[in-house]
Amino acid sequence: MRFGSVLCSALFLLRLAGLPVSAQTPEISRSPRELGTAVLREVAIQDGQLSFRVDSNGCTDAGSFKVRVRRSDGTAPKTAHYQLTIERVRSDECKAMLWEGVVIEMDLAKDLGLKGRYTASVTNPVLASLLAATVRAGELELEAARRKQKSTGELEAEQARLEALSPEEYPALVRQSPEPGSVLEAAGGFGPVLPPVIREVTAKLDGPVAEGDLLEVEGGSRSGPFYHLAGIAGGDYALLKAGKKQRLELCLVYRREYFGFIGDFYVYVLSVR
The pLDDT, as a whole number, for residue 12 is 29
- Answer yes or no: are the C-beta atoms of 46 and 84 closer than 8 Å: no
Mean pLDDT of the 142-148 span: 92
Q: Name the pLDDT band for 11 (thresholds 50, 70, 90).
A: very low
Whether the bond between 195 and the residue before it is cis, its omega within 30 degrees of 0, is: yes
**131 and 109 assigned to the same domain:** no
The pLDDT, as a whole number, for residue 186 is 58
Domain boundary among 122, 139, 172: 122
Asked whether residue 204 is domain-assigned, the answer is yes
Mean pLDDT of the 176-189 span: 56
**116 and 189 assigned to the same domain:** no
Task: Return mean pLDDT, the chain.
Answer: 82
Domain boundary among 96, 122, 148: 122
Asked whether residue 50 is domain-assigned, the answer is yes
The CA distances from residue 213 to 47, 184, 252, in Å, are 33, 21, 15
Q: 101: domain range? A: 28-122
**111 and 140 assigned to the same domain:** no
**248 and 157 assigned to the same domain:** yes
**131 and 226 assigned to the same domain:** yes
Mean pLDDT of the 213-221 span: 85
Asked whether residue 66 is domain-assigned, the answer is yes
CB neighbour list of residue 181: distance below 8 Å, 6 or more residues apart = 219
The total number of structural domains that make up the chain: 2
Distance CA 127, CA 10 (A): 16
Query: How many CB atoms are closer than 10 A to CB 126?
Result: 25
Distance CA 164, CA 69 (A): 35
Q: Name the pLDDT band for 8 (thresholds 50, 70, 90).
A: very low
The CA distances from residue 265 to 81, 188, 212, 225, 257, in Å, are 29, 13, 10, 8, 9
Distance CA 39, CA 221 (A): 32
The pLDDT, as a whole number, for residue 131 is 92
For residue 30, which of 135, 162, 166, 127 has the smallest C-alpha distance? 127
Asked whether residue 15 is domain-assigned, the answer is no
Distance CA 240, CA 141 (A): 23
Please determine, for residue 24, whether its predicted confidence score (pLDDT) is greater than 60: no
Asked whether residue 10 is domain-assigned, the answer is no
Asked whether residue 11 is domain-assigned, the answer is no
Structure-model confidence comparison of residues 259 and 173, the more confident one = 173
Domain boundary among 122, 141, 162: 122
**115 and 142 assigned to the same domain:** no
The pLDDT, as a whole number, for residue 15 is 34
The pLDDT, as a whole number, for residue 111 is 96
Structure-model confidence comparison of residues 246 and 189, the more confident one = 246
Q: Name the pLDDT band for 136 (thresholds 50, 70, 90).
A: very high
Instruction: Give all strands of the β-sheet with 49-54 in edge-to-edge order.
Output: 42-46, 49-54, 102-107
**229 and 118 assigned to the same domain:** no
Q: With helix as H, strand as E and coil as C, how does 217-264 read?
A: ECCCECCECEEEEEEEHHHCHHHCCECCEEEEEEEEEEECCCCCCECE
The CA distances from residue 179 to 72, 176, 202, 207, 268, in Å, are 32, 10, 16, 29, 21
Distance CA 270, CA 199 (A): 10
**142 and 92 assigned to the same domain:** no
Asked whether residue 239 is domain-assigned, the answer is yes
Q: Name the pLDDT band for 123 (thresholds 50, 70, 90).
A: confident
Distance CA 52, CA 44 (A): 6
For residue 144, which of 134, 160, 155, 135 has the smallest C-alpha distance? 155
**58 and 148 assigned to the same domain:** no
End-to-end C-alpha distance for the chain, whole angstroms = 30
DSSP category for residue 47: T
Instruction: Give all strands of the β-sheet with 245-255 in edge-to-edge order.
Output: 174-175, 191-204, 245-255, 264-272, 226-232
Asked whether residue 249 is domain-assigned, the answer is yes
Mean pLDDT of the 181-204 span: 76
The pLDDT, as a whole number, for residue 178 is 59
**268 and 164 assigned to the same domain:** yes
Q: What share of the chain in percent tops pLDDT 90?
A: 41
Q: Name the pLDDT band for 155 (thresholds 50, 70, 90).
A: very high
**What is the tens place of the pLDDT at every residue in 52-69?**
999 999 999 999 999 999
Full-model pTM: 0.68
**82 and 180 assigned to the same domain:** no
Mean pLDDT of the 255-265 span: 81
**223 and 254 assigned to the same domain:** yes
Structure-model confidence comparison of residues 234 and 179, the more confident one = 234
Q: What pairing do the DSSP bridges indicate for beta strands 65-73 and 102-107?
A: unpaired
Q: Name the pLDDT band for 89 (thresholds 50, 70, 90).
A: very high
